[in-house]
């Protein structure tokens, strides 16, 4: 049973793209001045091919 589980784990890792190109992280910081005073923004994200995912804090 352990051999089957180990074989399945190796197959899963090989099929999930572990050997593919890494994703490229991105980050940015912004400072703005407005009626409410000085504001800051922070953005982080990753991009792989045409897909981009980001979070703005």
Each residue of 2-47: pLDDT tens digit? 777 776 777 666 656 555 666 678 888 888 898 889 988 888 888 7
**CA 48 → CA 4, 20, 51, distances in Å?**
33, 11, 6
Q: What angle do CA 42, 47, 49 make, to 5 degrees?
A: 160
19's enclosing H/E stretch is none
What pTM was computed for the model? 0.46
Residue 40 is predicted with a pLDDT of 87
Residue 5 is predicted with a pLDDT of 76
Q: Which of 4, 52, 50 is nearest to 25 (CA)?
A: 52
């Amino acid at each position: 049973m352990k051999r089957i589980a180990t074989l399945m784990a190796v197959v899963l890792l090989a099929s999930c793209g572990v050997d593919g190109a890494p994703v490229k992280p991105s980050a940015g910081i912004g400072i703005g001045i407005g009626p409410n005073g000085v504001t800051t923004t922070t953005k982080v994200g990753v991009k792989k091919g045409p897909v981009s995912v980001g979070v703005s804090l």
